Amino acid sequence: MAKAWNKCPIRFCKVFSVGRPEELESPEGTKRIYLDNDSWEEDVKTLMELAKYILVCIHPNDNCIWEIRQCNTLFSEKTIYYVDNITNLSIVRDKMGEELPVCLKSHEIDNNHIMAYLKNGETVVKPYSNTDMGLTDAMYSIFN
């Protein structure tokens, strides 16, 4: 995903991820920002405010659900959700119920490798191929 973002038309954007404090080495992909366990929620909210776009990989852990809630409440028009595991989305749907973002309620999200977001208040659902070219094509279609 990071390679695709680096090729997307809005090249002036830098891509960062929040890393886990217990990581000894930063995984490949985006540059990591490491936050204190005691203040991560406030720090993440600040980063969300500063971000031009927010990309969230759907996962059923509590931290990701917290992030989805923040994005849905405060940043719905600049958040792009991607589903790389449809089972994870099913669990998140069950956990969040009515709090689930409207774009993730779409029945078009029925498989792995789908992005969903709001554009001018309308839900957009885009499948993508989980390859460098497929992800790059998805980024271009979002920003063109």
Residue pLDDT, tens place only, 18-41: 776 666 565 566 777 777 888 889
Residue pair 143/10 in contact (Cβ under 8 Å)? The answer is yes
**pLDDT value at residue 26:** 58
**Residue 114 identity (one-letter amino acid):** I
DSSP letter assigned to residue 100: S
Percent of the chain with pLDDT over 90: 60
Quick check: 107 pLDDT over 90? yes
Average pLDDT of 86-98?
98
Helix (H) or strand (E) holding 123: strand 122-127
Quick check: 87 pLDDT over 90? yes
pTM for this model (two decimals): 0.85
Residue pair 103/82 in contact (Cβ under 8 Å)? The answer is no
Average pLDDT of 116-128?
95
Average pLDDT of 114-131?
94
